[in-house]
Chain A
């Protein structure tokens, strides 16, 4: 029987294992040094904040793995012998494989800042990081977070939940404005400040200073300002974790290089999830996409190939979501931080300044290209269909109500949005149907 070994038990590796089990009788082994069972990395912050315990982040009960004959090994892989199809492990005997899937995930970026390895400095990716953060944020007076992305704002919310004052150093002019258009970036920046976070825009980290015990005592910003703190969170993005394959013949660049079938240059070795880098990325897609959903989809796809149904990785229209403190964010299609040539946009913001929708469409053809929505939930199914069938922006407006996914009784804002849209584009053809009362009449 073919033996499939998967290194990494994150969403990519585990999805691959589950789908290989669905489609085959192969022996499956998943190796992880981080945790015994699959847990949801996206819930890391909730453990710290006390919303959940670690056990609640496990998407499958512990009996699931044995029942589905997925063999879990808690160990660290030291090296891969690609010629012999063999892995050397830290604790256990070497393991041979017929097929190897690399799903080693990513690691926090460290840009060689002086003091970046001091006690009290941590990234926020793994359970070990969480443990470190917990340890180093007891009874402290201030924490500094470096890097304004999705992990940075989560860490800010975490420290805030424990009433630890936070200085949040963000290199950009507004929070995450390398991804979000400036309107939304400004809105989220405002919201961060409403939560009493000391948000320092256009501020970089110069160095981290130590006290006599080798512990963090302060950071120095690019302008030379010293901020006293006892904890520093490094959240300036992540990079693929390729340490393991660096010494092997597996080809790497930033990540482990794969073709459209997620195959590396070595036969029978695949790479998926955060650690993979696409040699020929699809149009409009980045070579390395480090989000939950792409990890999952690569896992689904590679399982097909390994089970004999050779399948190219073909993600549908881009989508993503996040939550910035109390503001939920969803995006469908592509809304770039800066409009591309021939693109036009329509931006609506609620008077509260905490809800917004940002539509992007092709100027000449009026084809809808993407949407960012804040504080209003939208249906993935509808936008996926609309993006694939290349409907017009007018069509999206006309059917916007159908795509609403807010809970019942929530105040609808579509009428306002459509009205504002019509005011801006008087020639637009948008006829909206009435909604049924109580859902029946």
Chain B
């Protein structure tokens, strides 16, 4: 390693460490100003201010203790509220006393008489009426039967009191994030631009100092020491990076209140772009775009002997910066619905959610245009373009997930599992996700148009919550990127992405795309299979002289690049005979299937 590269790597590690340390630099103090910025609704603000009164003006050194106190106070408030509004055994006794003897016919009308006119009395009466409406006019053989139903009703009502009168879990999470975001103060808040430069800025400089000297190597395949490296060879560096990435995604999706300082770092950029303070998603988008940009430069330098690789990399960098990052921010600034125009359903699984449809249909012609664009792209664009060029037009040229995999993930592409078993698991998993997303979307649309939240006994809201948690966050984020150093760069694309499954079905059954093998020139060396990020055993086809037509192939073209004998070529040609016969040219003794 050259001196400059060593310095660059050192700088990068220092900057990364600093970026993590930044999370511990700020202190936190709840003030009226913070409250009014964090909570817009004045009734809610008053209530929170009262409940968090003991915290006011108190300085916390750590984010964790600050959030711990918020949690403590809100929970204790919840307890008070619950005990005030909860339905007691006595209330149930009172209800029961309204009915007597055998052959009881239950009626909700009798409930009002039991409770007084106080707030809690009214609340209880209303809840009991609502919750037992299905029991109205129902006949019970004796009191015991009615009592059992009422007891169950009681626990359901009590468990839900905080959602109406107090703080639901969801609200507590949101309050924690908003309050922490507004209560932080310290060096980072005072000079966020400086800290941005010291952390992410220096990190980028360090990375580029490490990358650019590679220009001095002669152009050509540069995979020396890939398997010797503790990073790309599944060694200790890879493990550290993997766990850091997993940790990052867990915080991002489920504990954003612990990364508010990072949001402050990028405030200047967010303000400049869309006029608002940065959210966790802005920080994530910014970092994501930088990663694709910087590692894209690395990719371009590494493959500067291959125009296909260079153009493809320019393409993913462009779509990330323009479509995924800048345009949505500018749309926000223009007060228009923000949309990543290249994020296609079903990868963009929220596209048909009620709030998105509402948002788009109420935003004038631009919104409607976006709605139509999204539908046309998913239903016509995908099959037509995939017919002509294979799924690569999206997966390795346009897609953001693919973009990250092809740049940040490139050092790990060889770690994908090539076994037949992995292929079997892959087909089951990815097509299950596709079925799941179609069912969920259908359910959500059903609810949107009919207003009924149940379809065939399944609650569509639960369906989308489960999908969002398991597939959208845990699979796509935590596993999808966090597992780069363990299972290669395309874990999500290969095992989970429903759009990849959809594109793959088109590619497999109706497309001009295939990878052609060059006669009998294959020497079975295994470079193609090893460097296939999708885990396709390319060699298995090449060494028997058969074209490669696989639904999972994203057309990155690396197999063709690393082939030392010029055996593989990505081609769009007449779909007739695209599978080709498995015949190796060169042996005239016999014509046989290899």
Contacts and interface: CB of A to CB of B under 8 A. Distances in A.
A418 B224 CA distance: 37
Contacts of A410: 306-308
A65 interface: no
A329 to B, nearest CB: 9
Contacts of B540: 59
B317 to A, nearest CB: 16
A440 B385 CA distance: 12
Interface stretch (A38-46, A122-130, A207-215, A358-366): A38-46
Given A57-B525, A311-B589, A405 B518 contact: yes
B573 to A, nearest CB: 8
Given A51-B530, A321-B565, A384 B525 contact: no
B436 to A, nearest CB: 31
Contacts of B589: 297, 300-301, 304, 311-315
A51 B227 contact: yes
Contact of A319 (B419, B516, B586): B586
A56 B586 contact: no
B224 A161 contact: yes
A11 interface: yes
Nearest to B229: A50
A292 B523 contact: yes
B518 A52 contact: no
Given A51-B224, A326-B219, A439-B572, A380 B520 contact: yes
A131 interface: no
Nearest to B523: A42
A328 B526 contact: no
A43 B228 CA distance: 16
Contacts of A313: 589
Q: Which of B305, B420, B530, B584 has the most CB of A within 10 A?
A: B530
Interface string A398-440: 0000000111111100000000000000000000000000011
A330 B539 contact: no
A11 B218 contact: no
Nearest to A38: B524
Interface in B552-573: 557, 560-562, 564-566, 569-573
Interface in B535-594: 539-540, 543, 557, 560-562, 564-566, 569-573, 584-590, 592
Interface string B494-528: 00000000000000000010001011110111110
B225 interface: yes
A56 B529 CA distance: 8
Interface in B194-247: 218-221, 223-229, 233
Contacts of A317: 586
Contacts of B435: none
A49 B307 CA distance: 25
A353 interface: no
A53 interface: yes
Contact of A330 (B219, B228, B524, B566): B566
A11 to B, nearest CB: 7
B388 interface: yes
Contact of B227 (A53, A314, A322): A53
Interface string A188-215: 0000001100000000000000000000
Given A46-B527, A377-B566, A59 B543 contact: yes
Interface residues of B, number: 56
A311 B589 CA distance: 7
B50 interface: no
Contacts of A323: 564-565
Nearest to A328: B566
Contacts of B519: 319, 379-381, 384
A301 B587 contact: yes
Given A409-B308, A410-B307, A319 B229 contact: no
Instruction: Give the size category of A's interface with B.
Output: 35 or more
Nearest to A309: B590
A393 B388 CA distance: 34
Nearest to A64: B420
A381 B419 CA distance: 30
A379 B585 CA distance: 11
A40 B523 contact: yes
B271 interface: no
Given A316-B587, A384-B586, A46 B570 contact: no
Contact of A325 (B220, B229, B311): B220
B585 A49 contact: no
Contacts of B585: 316, 380-381, 384
Interface in B430-474: none
A354 B33 CA distance: 69
B570 A407 contact: yes
B561 A50 contact: no
A61 interface: yes
A239 interface: no
Interface in A272-316: 292-293, 296-297, 300-301, 304, 309, 311-316
B178 to A, nearest CB: 49
A19 interface: yes
A293 B586 contact: yes
Contacts of B227: 50-53
Most A-side CB within 10 Å, residue of B220, B223, B586, B589: B589
Contacts of A292: 523-524
Interface in B319-349: none
A336 to B, nearest CB: 20
A205 B543 CA distance: 38
A311 B221 CA distance: 41
Contacts of B226: 50-51
B224 A40 contact: no
Nearest to A409: B307
A314 B588 contact: yes
Interface of B: 218-221, 223-229, 233, 305-308, 311, 388, 419-420, 512, 516, 518-521, 523-527, 529-530, 539-540, 543, 557, 560-562, 564-566, 569-573, 584-590, 592
Given A293-B521, A330-B521, 13 more contacts: A43-B525, A46-B525, A46-B526, A53-B227, A195-B218, A293-B586, A313-B589, A319-B519, A322-B565, A326-B218, A330-B565, A381-B518, A405-B518
3 A-B pairs with least C-beta separation: A380-B519, A326-B220, A377-B566
9 contacts: A50-B228, A61-B420, A300-B587, A319-B521, A321-B521, A328-B566, A406-B569, A407-B308, A408-B308
